[in-house]
Structure 1
Amino acid sequence: MYTVVVVVAAILGVAVVAMGVAYLVAPVANAKGFGLPAWPEGVLAAWLNIKGIRDVGMGVALLVLLATAGPHVMGWYLLVSAIVPIGDAVIVLRHGGSKVLALGMHAATAAVIVAVAAVLLLAG
């Protein structure tokens, strides 16, 4: 079970880095799948790069912890990082965005992160 959770954690790290890079390379195109009803265009699209660099940093941190720290540290990092997709879901819902994406993507991501964190914390 522990090995499966470590693999899932690695996949999460790579996926978060990939999402971040996508927001840095093509912010408006990727933002449409986030769940909000409208996104800034033109110069204001630079705000979307904030999401991109945040995701790259969090994903790299996850991978570094996976490679260097024990399961207990990794579990705590994941548990704390679940705040981000929870916040994303709240933002989407609060601003009239897609309930399906808020719950099916953001809240579901938070649930997976919390489940992986729990296994790692119990293993540590």
Structure 2
Amino acid sequence: MTKNRLATVLAVLGGLFLLYIGAVFLLTPQTSVVGYGLPAWPHDQGEGILVAKGMRDIGFGLVILALLLAGQRKALGLAMAAMTVVPVGDMVNVLNEGGPAATAYCVHGLTAAAVAVTAGLLLRERPAAA
């Protein structure tokens, strides 16, 4: 598999995964927060922030897929490099809130690494010869 194809596959999977995670947070915010690494959320108390998290993820997923479909691979690489701060922030949040370190590092830390690798692959691509 070429590096360009690998970058494309990783970007598509990342975009689709974000759409899925966002939808899960919209549909079942109470149960989703535990998988995120935070303690169970009190029912009927501030669930709007969980919905906002779901919408954030859907928005990021759509940006990834839109830039990929538009053929804007360099812009996608830059966007994904910038987006790397989100899973890093999520990891720090889980650790600061006393969540499981395994979830912080294995879910959010590995996500940050995957996003950074995808961004790096996209940014290292050479333009196609004319």
Q: Deviations along 1:52-85, whole A, 9 cap, x unmatched? A: 0000111011100111133211110100011100
Q: Check if 1:101 corresponds to 2:113.
A: no
**Aligned equivalents of 2:54, 2:42: Cα separation in 1:** 15
Question: Which has more radius of gyration?
Answer: 2
Q: Is the 8 A contact 1:37 1:98 kept in 2?
A: no
SS at match of 2:35: coil
Distance 1:86 1:5 in 2: 21
2: CA distance, partners of 1:96 / 1:43:
20
Return the alpha-carbon distance in structure 1 between the equivalents of residues 101 and 43 of structure 2: 23
Structure-1 residue corresponding to 2:91: 89
Give the one of 24, 35, 38 matched to 1:36. 38
The one-letter amino acid of 1:93's match is L
CA drift at 1:98: 0.8
CA contact (8 A) 2:4 2:122 kept: yes
* Contact 2:33–2:39 (Cα < 8 Å) also in 1: no
1:69-116 Cα deviation digits (max 9, x unpaired) = 332111101000111000000000011111000000001000010001
Q: Distance in 1 between the 2:39 and 2:31 partners?
A: 13
Name the TM-score, length of structure 1 as normaliser.
0.94
Structure 1 residue runs without a partner (length 5+): none
Q: Which runs of 4+ in 1 moved over 3 A?
A: none
Q: Supply the RMSD in Å over aligned alpha carbons.
A: 1.1
Amino acid at match of 1:55: D
**In the alignment, what sits opposite 1:51?**
53
Among 74, 81, 96, the residue aligned to 1:72: 74
Identity of aligned residues (%): 33
Structure 2: stretches of 5+ with no match in the other structure: none
- Confirm or deny: 8 A CA contact 2:31 2:40 kept in the other structure: no
TM-score, normalization: structure 2?
Answer: 0.90
Instruction: Report the Cα distance in structure 1 between the residues aligned to 2:88 and 2:43, rounded to whole angstroms.
Output: 25
On the 8 A contact 1:85/1:107 being kept in 2, the answer is yes
